[in-house]
C-alpha cells in the first residue's frame, strides 16, 4: 500500500437534486426530491433541505410525500445529468489517466499516476483546486476524500459532506476505522451486516478483534479474509481506468405491471437501442447480451446469449434480446425490464447471421403490415371511418422537464393533469420566474433540451 494520501474520491453533493436546484432558481434553498413519481416510484436523490424531513434515496416516493408534502417532486433529466457528469469527469482526467467512475456523480482518481500529487500537501492542494474548478464549470459542489487507499478515500469524502474535503493522514487509519459500523467496509451489505450482528460484531474494531479465523468461519475464506484485511485498513485495490468497465446496461421500472406481450417486446427493443447507443458513446462493443426481467411477484430472471464476436450493432443486440425474451414467461405481468451487453472490447466483429436475421425479421414485419393493409376485413373486424381522424394521443409533460413557449420562452413543467400543464418560466441564470397554465395540446408549447447551468459552459444539449 502507498505511503502518501494520493488516492482521491469525489462524490458530488445530492447530485440530481442539486442540478435541478441550479437549473431552477425558484427551487434554490427548498426541498427537492428527484425520482419516480408513480405509485411504485422510488427516490433517486433528495436535496439536503428534503433530507431534514427524513427523505432519503431508495425510499418509496409515496413515503417521501408523507414526510415532505411541500417538497418539489421532479422526474429525472438524465440528459442534463450525463452532460454535467461528462464535464466533471473531464476535469478528473486532466489530473490523471487513472480515473475510475462508479456512477455519474462519483469516481476514484489516482493522483500519483498522473504526477498531480506526491504527498499530503500537494494532494490537498489538488483536491481544493478540483472542488473550485467543479463549481466554476458546473455551478455544483462536490466532496473530496484523500487517503492511501480507495476504501479510506471514500470514507473521507463521506465525512466531508456536504461541500468539503477530508484528508486521512497515513498512520491514523486504524484509529479512524475502529468505532465505525461494519457497513462502512466494502463488501458488507445488509445480509453480511446482519450475519455479523448476530455474531455480536457491529463495529470495525470488533471485526479486527474477532480475528481472521473467526471471520473465515462466519463468512467463508475469500470474504472473511478480505474483510479482516479491510478492518486492519489494508486495501490494495488499484484505481482502474473506466475502460475496464465490464458491462453496459439500461433498465426501466414500470409504475403499472405490463401484461401485453406486444408491449413487452417493444420495451425490450427500445432498451436494446438505448443500450447500444451507450455502448457506442463509450467506444466499446461486447459479445454477451443479457436480458433482465422482474415479474409481478418480484421474482427476477436473467437470460444471456454469447455472440460469435463483439458487436455494437443495434439490430444484433435487439435481435438477441428478442430471442432471450421468447424463453421468459411474462403472462403474470412485468415490473422491470433491462438489457445489457458484457464481455466488452474495443473493436467489433459483427455477428452477420444475427444481423441478417434482424434484417429478415424487419422485412417480414413490413411485408406483414402491407398484407394487413390490403387484406379484406372480416365480419368481426372493427370498421374505421376513413373520414373521421383518430383521436390524438395526449402529450406527456413530465414534472421538472424543460419546455419552450413561442411567446414566453424557456421554462420547466411544474405539473400537469386534466388537460392542463403548468409551467414556470425561468432559466438557470434568471431570477425566479412567473407561473402560467396552458392546455396540454397548446401548439406553441414544446419540450426542449436542458439549458447550461453556467453561462458559457458549452451547454447541456442532447448528446
Write out the catalytic residue numbers: 106
- Residue 44 sits at φ, ψ, to 5 deg, of -85, -45
Instruction: Please state, in angstroms and rounded to a whole number, the distance separating the CA atoms of residues 40 and 62.
Output: 8
How many other C-beta atoms lie within 10 A of the C-beta of residue 160?
22
Instruction: Please state, in angstroms and rounded to a whole number, the distance separating the CA atoms of residues 182 and 189.
Output: 9
Residue-wise burial string across 321-344, b where 16 or more C-beta atoms lie within 10 A, e elsewhere: bbebbeebebeeebbbbbbbbbbb
Cell of 364: 417480414
Q: Are strands 106-110 and 7-12 parallel, antiparallel or unpaired?
A: antiparallel
Burial class of residue 198 in the structure, from the number of CB atoms within 10 Å of its CB (0-12 exposed, 13-18 middle, 19+ buried): exposed
Instruction: Please state, in angstroms and rounded to a whole number, the distance separating the CA atoms of residues 406 and 395.
Output: 17
Long-range contacts formed by 189-194: CB under 8 A, 24+ apart: 192/219, 192/223, 192/227
CB 447 within 8 A of CB 421: no
Instruction: Please state, in angstroms and rounded to a whole number, the distance separating the CA atoms of residues 290 and 246.
Output: 13
Amino acid at each position: 500500500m502507498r505511503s502518501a494520501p494520493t488516492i482521491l474520491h469525489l462524490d458530488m453533493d445530492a447530485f440530481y437534486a442539486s442540478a435541478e436546484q441550479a437549473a431552477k432558481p425558484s427551487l434554490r434553498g427548498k426541498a427537492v426530491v428527484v425520482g419516480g413519481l408513480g405509485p411504485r416510484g422510488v427516490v433517486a436523490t433528495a436535496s439536503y433541505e428534503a433530507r431534514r424531513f427524513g427523505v432519503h434515496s431508495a425510499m418509496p416516493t409515496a413515503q417521501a410525500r408523507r414526510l415532505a408534502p411541500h417538497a418539489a417532486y421532479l422526474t429525472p433529466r438524465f440528459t442534463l445529468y450525463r452532460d454535467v457528469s461528462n464535464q466533471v469527469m473531464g476535469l478528473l482526467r486532466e489530473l490523471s489517466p487513472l480515473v475510475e467512475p462508479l456512477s455519474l456523480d462519483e469516481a476514484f482518481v489516482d493522483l500519483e499516476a498522473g504526477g498531480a500529487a506526491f504527498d499530503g500537501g500537494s494532494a490537498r492542494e489538488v483536491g481544493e483546486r478540483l472542488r473550485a474548478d467543479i463549481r466554476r464549470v458546473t455551478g455544483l459542489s462536490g466532496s473530496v476524500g484523500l487517503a492511501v487507499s480507495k476504501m479510506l478515500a471514500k470514507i473521507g469524502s463521506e465525512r466531508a459532506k456536504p461541500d468539503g474535503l477530508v484528508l486521512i493522514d497515513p498512520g491514523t487509519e486504524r484509529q479512524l476505522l475502529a468505532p465505525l459500523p461494519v457497513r462502512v467496509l466494502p463488501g458488507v451489505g445488509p445480509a453480511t451486516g446482519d450475519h455479523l450482528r448476530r455474531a455480536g460484531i457491529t463495529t470495525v474494531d470488533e471485526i479486527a478483534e474477532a480475528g481472521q479465523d473467526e471471520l473465515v468461519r462466519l463468512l467463508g475464506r475469500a470474504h472473511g479474509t478480505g474483510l479482516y484485511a479491510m478492518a486492519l485498513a489494508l486495501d490494495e485495490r488499484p484505481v482502474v481506468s473506466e475502460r475496464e468497465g465490464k458491462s453496459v446496461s439500461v433498465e426501466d421500472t414500470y409504475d403499472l405491471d405490463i401484461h401485453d406481450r406486444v408491449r413487452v417486446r417493444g420495451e425490450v427493443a427500445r432498451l436494446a437501442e438505448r443500450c447500444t447507443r451507450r455502448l457506442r458513446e463509450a467506444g466499446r462493443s461486447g459479445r454477451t447480451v443479457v436480458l433482465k426481467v422482474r415479474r409481478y411477484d418480484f421474482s427476477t430472471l436473467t437470460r444471456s446469449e454469447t455472440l460469435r464476436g463483439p458487436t455494437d450493432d443495434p439490430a444484433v443486440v435487439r435481435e438477441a434480446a428478442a430471442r432471450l425474451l421468447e424463453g421468459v414467461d411474462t403472462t403474470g405481468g412485468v415490473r422491470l425490464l433491462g438489457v445489457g451487453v458484457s464481455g466488452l472490447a474495443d473493436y467489433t466483429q459483427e455477428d452477420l447471421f444475427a444481423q441478417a436475421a434482424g434484417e429478415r425479421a424487419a422485412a417480414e414485419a413490413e411485408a406483414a403490415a402491407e398484407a394487413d393493409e390490403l387484406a379484406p376485413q372480416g365480419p368481426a373486424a372493427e370498421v374505421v371511418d376513413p373520414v373521421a381522424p383518430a383521436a390524438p394521443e395526449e402529450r406527456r409533460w413530465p414534472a421538472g422537464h424543460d419546455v419552450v413557449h413561442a411567446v414566453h420562452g424557456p421554462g420547466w413543467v411544474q405539473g400537469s393533469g386534466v388537460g392542463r400543464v403548468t409551467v414556470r418560466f425561468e432559466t438557470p441564470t434568471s431570477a425566479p420566474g412567473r407561473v402560467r397554465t396552458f392546455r396540454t395540446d397548446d401548439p406553441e408549447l414544446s419540450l426542449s433540451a436542458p439549458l447550461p447551468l453556467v453561462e458559457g459552459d458549452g451547454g447541456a444539449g442532447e448528446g
